Amino acid sequence: MTPATLFDALVQFGPDLWKATTDTFLMVGVTLIAAVVLGTPLGVLLFSTSSGGLFPRPLLNGVAGYLVNVLRSFPFIILLVLLIPFSRIVVGTSIGPRAAAVALSVAVIPYFARLVEQNLRDVPRGMIEMARACGASPLQIVSRVLLPEALPAILGSLTVTATGFIAYSAVAGAVGAGGLGDLAIRYGYYRFETAVMIWCVVIMFVLVQCTQYLGDWLVRRSDRR
């Protein structure tokens, strides 16, 4: 594969590569929003209702933990297929980046919830007890102690999640979800356009590196220690 061949492929398939990249951004962006908006509260719930938590509820914790474990046990490609009817209900289609974003969101919520739960467990117990001694309510402890103290770790977990689900978005291309994975399969595999596959890999590499760099920067900015 010569540089000239790669350049020719970039010129020929440039619009397709751009469209695939924006589709990947859409899928990963929606996924991360779902992780923060739904995964974070679920992680707080798992931590708070566990034994020794802010308000222990063994039954609630057991049910929530079981559901989280069930969803996490599914291989993503199988979960993607199983959620086709649900995706059709939610976004009106079972193919394309919007449909894949639904499946990715369902997959990311329990994954990120467990990471948040572990991040909260790493907050020194003494800080929680001190807040209790000052008369803080469980909600105040969560919002003013736990989440602020665990923020750098949560941002680090979000960065790991983002880089991992960029790869998941490529897997979704196997079932016509769009994005870089779909383009690599349709052209790089089925049509033997190796140069297109190489460009897809290069773009994925750049996305992962930029995401990791941004995440590390946010972690450093939020760390007050």
- Please tell me the pTM assigned to this model: 0.89
Predicted local distance difference test score (pLDDT) of residue 225: 61
Predicted local distance difference test score (pLDDT) of residue 6: 67
**Are residues 175 and 27 in contact, defined by beta-carbon separation less than 8 angstroms?**
no
Sole residue written with tokens 């751009």: 18
Per-residue pLDDT of the chain (225 residues; tens, 9 = 90+): 676 776 666 677 778 889 889 999 999 999 999 999 999 999 999 999 988 778 888 898 899 999 999 988 888 888 888 888 888 888 887 778 888 888 899 999 999 999 999 999 988 888 888 888 887 787 888 888 888 999 999 999 999 999 998 888 888 777 777 788 888 888 877 777 788 888 888 999 999 999 999 999 999 888 776
Three-state SS string over the chain comes to: CCHHHHHHHHHHHHHHHHHHHHHHHHHHHHHHHHHHHHHHHHHHHHHHCCCCCCCCCHHHHHHHHHHHHHHHHCCHHHHHHHCHHHHHHHHCCCCCHHHHHHHHHHHHHHHHHHHHHHHHHCCCHHHHHHHHHCCCCHHHHHHHHHHHHHHHHHHHHHHHHHHHHHHHHHHHHHHCCCHHHHHHHHHHHCCCCHHHHHHHHHHHHHHHHHHHHHHHHHHHHHCCC
Predicted local distance difference test score (pLDDT) of residue 210: 94
Predicted local distance difference test score (pLDDT) of residue 118: 93
Predicted local distance difference test score (pLDDT) of residue 190: 76
Neighbours of 25 (CB within 10 A): 15
Predicted local distance difference test score (pLDDT) of residue 10: 67
Predicted local distance difference test score (pLDDT) of residue 79: 84
- Backbone φ and ψ of 181, nearest 5°: -65, -45
- Domains in the chain (CATH in brackets) are 3-222 (1.10.3720.10)
